[in-house]
Structure 1
Amino acid sequence: VSGASGFVGSHIVYQLLEAGYSVRGAARGSKVINLQAAFNSFNIPSNQDRFKALNIPDIASSDLSDAFKGVSGIIHTAAPLPGHADVEITLKVALQGTLHVLESAHKAGIHKIIMTSSIVSFPYSEGLFSDDAWNPVTLEEAHNNNYATYAYAKTQADKVALEFTKTHPEMDITFCNPGWIFGPLIPSPYSYHLIPEPSPAALSTTGYIYALLNPNNQHYPSVPGFTDIRDVARAHILALSSQYKYPQQRMILKAPEPNSFREAIEILEAKFGKEVQGRLANKEKAPGEEWAIQEDKALEWSVKTKDVTWPEGWKSWKECVEDTVDSLLDMEKFWKGKGLEVRVLEDPSL
């Protein structure tokens, strides 16, 4: 699992270990130590090396031969978030990184690859979407703002990988393309080791939920839609374990439910009461259900969904919001117990 210390990667590692897999998780620098500490308890009961954190300094150029030795599948999640790296680094990780992972996997005889992509690689228009539907964002636009950089990087990375499969048809590559990902951090105490001090970057997009605990917050996602991080991780693992090579490789992941941030604030009021009193954002200024339904072009609300993806169905907006804040309040107590300052950003997109 590349990007194993990240929000998505850590959930995938956790679910893989819980399901009995042996896992190697790639990260960089000091994150490697935290990553090993987070999941080292999975090695203790059986005295086996079920989890090993690897230092991969540069996913676009580092030698991956040892990391891939004896591996049966790869989940490639590593990617900079919008605004957390300059344009050239973002594009290098996305394009050269993707190609390097695929070429190294091919040399190692690994054919099963799951790629973490994004719904932004599809056009922001009415569906239905196929593998040939692409975001028309240009390189020039990518140099002008963070969102365009991210969209361009994800779009081109998908194209690079699909082009690779044309010359290497034995490669079984599936793309998971979620929309906005929210949800709790991995369960404690694993989260305590992984994020030992406050880090807005570690929260990733779920920082938008955390920002509901800042009364001055007026910043919300530009478009609606959500998928709980636990469902995103589960989808990756289902794709990894599936023996069926599905004709369509790019899979949009989106919970079939509107996500009103006004409702989210009401959910937190009801669930946490005095614990969040005086901390909540102004719900009158938060996007409501009308925004969530009318502005969402990726879902056809008139279609009745069936819970065929997994028996228990998609995690609801209510469960996602409650569990996210429960997780973050727990982390606040942990950080404050170490004497660290905890601050909720007013604008989580920074």
Structure 2
Amino acid sequence: MAFPLFTVSQLSLFFQVTGGSGFIGYHILSQLLNNRYFVRAAARGKKIELLKKALSANYSSDRFEVIEVADITSGDLSQYLKGVDGIIHAAAPLPGRVDVETAFKISIEGSLHILREAVHAKVPRVVVTSSIATFPLPQGPFGANDLAVVEFAEKHTEIDVTLAGPAFTYGPFAPGFECFLPEPDLSALSTNESIYALLRPGNTRIPIAPGAIDVRDAARAHILALKFPPSTEVGPKRFAIVSPHRSSYRDALTIIAKERPELKDRLTDATLAREWSLYTFPVEWQKIDDVLGLKADSFILWDKTALDTVDSLVHAEGLWKEKGFEVPPLFHHL
């Protein structure tokens, strides 16, 4: 395996990312590269070449590398972690998208294996994507993962570990992500599936998701976690990350109808969108500001998230049309 040859004039921080072919993970890769960091992305199977293609479309190949890790839960990763300044472990399954056994294996065994290998390789910092569904009371495989990571961090203070739990995540796909959307496929849309459902006039099943975050802010939180004070100075770092802005589907439908009139006839009836008693989650804003440097007034507004997401989805539809697919696709289970 040939690794990038970094010269003295190119000195910069060097990070490894797992889950880089995912919705949040690819944004993390993009933001790291946009900030001139060097990146090694772990992938497996067909996603290796897809990730190379996606990144190559926008970034110089001497700043990133895609390596094959067939099983994130086992195997010697020392050769891949040599010289790495930090790891972002974003290979986290979405609740409800995989069976419990698979979720348990990926969440707990994957996280613990990455952490053990990080200790052996003397990687100073690791950020693990958590699930906001586990806040405040962990339950199921996702909560068990958080507890396992916290216990490991308490025993291995030689590395700094942060758990970052983004809320329901929406937003545009990062440039190049269209490589992972070759054809209409709901699962490939990740949580943007919920926004795509709003582009179906006959849809009556609008999900309940009080509390959201723009994917660009979620990625930013992960990267900031690599930079700020270690746990030995600020205490355990386990954060639920959610936008402070009201995240209403009814509001989203209203703003889309106003700003994208060409889509008005495609939209779900806004009156069918439920009003919620809560539109965000109470989180430790002061601690998030102090430790991550992530200020409440820096989050992307919900209107922008909704519009940018729809624009990104319509762009994906255009690519599908060029290939001869039916758009919008008939996803009867929405």
Match for residue 283 of structure 1 among 261, 267, 270: 270
Distance 1:82 1:66 in 2: 32
Distance 2:93 2:319 in 1: 27
The secondary structure found in structure 2 opposite 1:232 is helix
RMSD across aligned positions (CA):
2.4
| Counterpart in the other structure of 1:130 | none
| Counterpart in the other structure of 1:199 | 185
| Counterpart in the other structure of 1:148 | none
| Counterpart in the other structure of 1:88 | 101
Which amino acid letter does the alignment assign opposite residue 33 of structure 2?
A: L
Are residue 52 (structure 1) and residue 65 (structure 2) matched? yes
Are residue 108 (structure 1) and residue 93 (structure 2) matched? no
Are residue 67 (structure 1) and residue 80 (structure 2) matched? yes
Deviation, 1:346, is 5.7
Are residue 12 (structure 1) and residue 28 (structure 2) matched? yes
TM-score (normalised: structure 1) = 0.82
| Counterpart in the other structure of 2:294 | 309
1:82–1:113: structure 2 CA closer, same or farther, 3 Å change rule?
same
Number of residues paired by the alignment?
A: 310
Are residue 36 (structure 1) and residue 52 (structure 2) matched? yes
Distance 2:37 2:304 in 1: 27
Distance 1:253 1:101 in 2: 22
On the 8 A contact 1:23/1:52 being kept in 2, the answer is yes
- How do residues 1-350 of structure 1 correspond to structure 2 at under 5 angstroms? 1-41=17-57, 44=60, 49-123=62-136, 134-135=137-138, 137=139, 152-187=140-175, 190-245=176-231, 246-274=234-262, 276-288=263-275, 291=276, 294-296=277-279, 298-299=281-282, 309-310=294-295, 313-342=298-327, 343=329, 345=331, 347=333
Distance 1:199 1:16 in 2: 27
Deviation, 1:297, is 7.4
1:43–1:229: structure 2 CA closer, same or farther, 3 Å change rule?
closer
Which amino acid letter does the alignment assign opposite residue 316 of structure 1?
A: L
| Bigger mean CA offset, 6-15 vs 54-63 | 54-63
C-alpha deviations, 1:46-77, integer Å up to 9, x for none? xx521112222211124322221221100001
Distance 1:175 1:347 in 2: 33
Distance 2:70 2:313 in 1: 29
Deviation, 1:18, is 0.2
On the 8 A contact 2:184/2:320 being kept in 1, the answer is yes
Deviation, 1:244, is 4.4
Distance 1:56 1:25 in 2: 9
Distance 1:173 1:111 in 2: 9
Deviation, 1:23, is 0.7
Gapped runs of 5+ residues in structure 1? 124-133, 138-151
Distance 1:266 1:306 in 2: 32
Deviation, 1:248, is 3.5
On the 8 A contact 1:219/1:347 being kept in 2, the answer is no
Deviation, 1:43, is 5.2
Deviation, 1:26, is 1.5
1:252–1:81: structure 2 CA closer, same or farther, 3 Å change rule?
closer
C-alpha deviations, 1:183-204, integer Å up to 9, x for none? 11113xx123333333322211
Distance 1:71 1:92 in 2: 25
Distance 1:297 1:262 in 2: 15
Distance 1:54 1:222 in 2: 38
Distance 2:84 2:298 in 1: 31
Using CA pairs under 8 Å that are at least 6 residues apart, name the structure with larger relative contact order, 1 or 2: 1
The secondary structure found in structure 1 opposite 2:126 is strand
1:43–1:15: structure 2 CA closer, same or farther, 3 Å change rule?
closer
1:310–1:223: structure 2 CA closer, same or farther, 3 Å change rule?
closer
Which amino acid letter does the alignment assign opposite residue 75 of structure 1?
A: I
Gapped runs of 5+ residues in structure 2? 1-16
Distance 1:90 1:311 in 2: 31
1:220–1:236: structure 2 CA closer, same or farther, 3 Å change rule?
same
Which amino acid letter does the alignment assign opposite residue 181 of structure 1?
A: T
Which amino acid letter does the alignment assign opposite residue 105 of structure 1?
A: A
1:345–1:247: structure 2 CA closer, same or farther, 3 Å change rule?
farther
Deviation, 1:228, is 0.5
Distance 2:315 2:58 in 1: 22
1:287–1:17: structure 2 CA closer, same or farther, 3 Å change rule?
same
The secondary structure found in structure 2 opposite 1:234 is helix
